Amino acid sequence: MKYVIIGNSAAAIGAVEAIRKTDRTGQILILSSEPYHTYSRPLISYLLLGKTTEEKMLYRDRDFYEKMHCDFRPNTTVVKLDPEQKQVLLADGSTESYDRVLVATGSSPFVPPMAGLDTVEHKTTFGSLEDAKRLSGMIDSRSRVLIIGAGLIGLKCAEGIADTVKSITVVDLAPRVLSSILDDAASARIKHYLEQHDLRFFLGESVKEFSGNTAILTGGGQIEFDCLVLAVGVRANTALVKDAGGAVGRGITVDDHMRTSLPEVYAAGDCTESMDCAEQQIKIMALLPNAYMQGACAGANMAGQEAVFDTAIPMNSIGLFGLHMMTAGSYHGETFVQDDGTGFKELFYENDRLCGYILIGDIHRAGIYTAMIRNRTPLRSVDFDLLCREPELMAFSQADRKVMLGGREK
């Protein structure tokens, strides 16, 4: 059996490890467009901050490919997937055949068309180790940095460079920071906190045009800057499957075995869209643990096992300037809000189910809330008043506690 894996991040690693649990002799070929050993992308801001090193960013040890008996080929870009011939075409014109292939191509930064962008000399996106290195070479203590995007990527970038540069200004078309994962109340708290760390925001604004190192806003204001970071968002890399005739939406369409609509073609990670098990809606849920578990599911099935991954929900865990927050699920229904001035909690519930939560500051035992959302735990079966105040196991029945603690099944 010959397995070809396109990509080299969390989903790819999950697939390799799952394949090797079943098939110890099949050939595994990993094709990566990047030049690097597998690394943890969420750590690139900490590299800029000086809290980690490239070696510590490794997602697996240096001898991983050797131990797993993989043929790892960095700087190798796949330009076409041919399911009829069961081969992939590489950028250099060569081909590689496969018995089963995993598309784990992740996502790429989205750069919207902006007038005058080509006049900006020092600019970069922020999603890879290469981006982090490029940005590091552009900035110093005199740099005024303009970040387009007040989402997760833009704000983590800001945290990474805040101690290095002179000033940071953030512009976003949305009326609040972290608009994709926070509601108005939580976002207002985070914005206030970030402003205390000298970030300046222009929200509900966009750049009308650039003229060299000047950004002219739609509202008429102007921002002078030395370095531009484009962190508007990302798009799933679906082209290989789409061009081969496979089903795609916002991401590559997969079933709960991580199979695409193409024969012997699997997909996993940020390039896919999958079922939110709590809401029963198809979504892109770009999260490293999800990507790994999807990859592991794909790898097991590619090697002939029967594996299912059907427990994905939208989740985020992020720290900004020492303040931690976690979010999960969807924000609808009734709410419970707890705000003591230092921490913030908001729970969303309806139809006897916990739908989602936002935690800022104290994220202790957030996994209990997450499990309730994922398992669609009936609120009538728990002491929900206690859970609102504190996520305690004592709020569950004795039988449920045994299951949650790894004891006997129901």
Convert the pLDDT of each residue in 82-106 to its tens digit.
999 999 999 999 999 999 999 999 9
Closest CA to 16 of 306, 299, 303: 299
Could you tell me the residue ranges of all domains in the chain?
A: 2-107+235-302, 117-232, 322-404
Give the tens place of pLDDT for each residue, 354-404.
999 999 999 988 999 998 999 899 999 999 998 998 888 888 877 777 766
What per-residue confidence (pLDDT) applies to 149? Answer: 97
Q: How many whole angstroms separate alpha carbon 12 and alpha carbon 291?
A: 9
Q: How confident is residue 67, by pLDDT bands cut at 50, 70 and 90?
A: very high
Please compute the mean of the pLDDT values over residues 111-130 and round it to a whole number.
Answer: 96
pLDDT range class, residue 341, cuts 50, 70, 90:
confident
How would you class 118 by CB atoms within 10 Å of its CB: exposed for 0-12, middle for 13-18, buried for 19 or more?
Answer: exposed
Domain covering 2-107+235-302 assigned CATH 3.40.50.2300 in the classification: no
Q: What confidence tier does 405 reach under pLDDT thresholds 50, 70, 90?
A: low
Q: How many CB atoms lie within 10 A of CB 110?
A: 13
Contact yes or no for 31/76 (Cβ under 8 A): yes
- Sheet arrangement for strand 334-339: 315-320, 323-329, 353-360, 344-350, 334-339
Q: Is the pLDDT of residue 277 over 90?
A: no
Q: What is the mean pLDDT of residues 34-58?
A: 96
Residue 273 has pLDDT above 80, yes or no: yes
| Residue 341 CB-density burial (10 A; 0-12 exposed, 13-18 middle, 19+ buried) | exposed
Query: Which amino acid belongs to residue 261?
Result: S
- Give the pLDDT mean for 219-245: 97
Report yes or no: 238 and 7 within 8 Å, Cβ to Cβ: no
CATH no., domain 117-232 = 3.50.50.60
More confident residue, 400 or 263: 263
- Mean pLDDT of the 34-57 span: 96
Cβ atoms of residues 363 and 325 within 8 Å: yes
Tell me the C-alpha distance between 341 and 338, whole Å.
9
Q: Decide if 264 contacts 273 (C-beta within 8 A).
A: no
Nearest CA to 124 among 157, 152, 156, 155?
A: 157
The chain-wide mean pLDDT, for the chain, equals 94
Read off the pLDDT of residues 248-260 as tens digits, 9 standing for 90 and up: 999 999 999 999 9
* Token code pair at residue 233: 């968002």
Would the CATH topology of 2-107+235-302 be identical to that of 117-232?
A: yes
3-state helix, strand, coil in the chain (%, to 5): 25, 30, 45
d(CA 211, CA 192): 30
Dist. CA 179–CA 233, nearest whole Å: 12
Q: In the predicted model, what is the mean pLDDT of residues 147-168?
A: 97
Using CA atoms, how far apart are residues 16 and 5, in angstroms rounded to an integer? Answer: 8
Length of the chain: 410
Q: Which of 105, 107, 23, 15 is nearest to 60 (CA)?
A: 15
Residue 92 makes CB contacts below 8 A (sequence gap 6+) with none
Q: At the top level of CATH, which class does the domain 322-404 belong to?
A: alpha beta
Is pLDDT of 410 > 50? no
Strand pairing partners for 115? Answer: 209
Residue 326 pairs in a beta bridge with 317, 359
**Average of pLDDT values for 100-123?**
96
- How far is Cα 164 from Cα 4, in angstroms, rounded to an integer? 42
Using CA of residue 21, residue 24, residue 27, residue 33, what is the dihedral sign? positive
What digits encode the pLDDT tens for the residues 53-65?
Answer: 999 999 999 999 9
CB 103 within 8 A of CB 271: yes
- Please give the distance of CA 273 from its chain centroid, rounded to a whole number: 12
Predicted local distance difference test score (pLDDT) of residue 105: 98
Q: What number is the average pLDDT over the span 15-28?
A: 98
CA-to-CA distance for 52 and 58, rounded, in angstroms?
Answer: 10
